[in-house]
Structure 1
Amino acid sequence: ASDESFVKVSKATHGHVGIDLNTDNFLTDSEGNIVPNPRYYRTIKGKLVKEQRILSRRQQRAKKEHRSLRDSKNYQKQRLLVAK
């Protein structure tokens, strides 16, 4: 067994780090670390489609019952959920 620790502690440097935001990836710093683009829309797209279907269903039901969408509480709650 060696006496080396699992985590290497980097020496504190008082230098500056440059950050580059670009289109290929989310950001790259001057030390060569690359942070990939998070792609939130692609990961949430399926859930968004489902929530929009529910919103449409609530809109159709309010229309069928001759209610204003402003008075339809469930429609308004779903509208806010889709907007988020």
Structure 2
Amino acid sequence: MLGDLIAALDRPEVISNVLATLDPELAANLNERAARVSMPVGDFSAGAVRAFLDEADDDLWFQLVTVMRKSEDPGLAAVETILRWVVGT
């Protein structure tokens, strides 16, 4: 489920749908961070998720798995949690 969602983040409609589910504050922070590096927010967000997957330590993975276990939509919860960590909210 998470792997499928992450693999699909390259598709503009998928990342748009994910971003549409975020709370407004997180979405605004993502837009601001993406603008600072002159990237579309979708590309920035997909890249941030992939960077997390490549670089996260065991403690962050444990926290992420805990969030996923408690969620009705674990893949979406994981992506949202990663994006929150990226923008520091």
Sort the TM-score into its range (normalised by shorter chain): under 0.3
More strand per residue: 1
Highest RCO, 1 vs 2 (Cα 8 Å, sep ≥ 6): 2
With normalisation by structure 1, the TM-score equals: 0.22
With normalisation by structure 2, the TM-score equals: 0.22
More helix per residue: 2
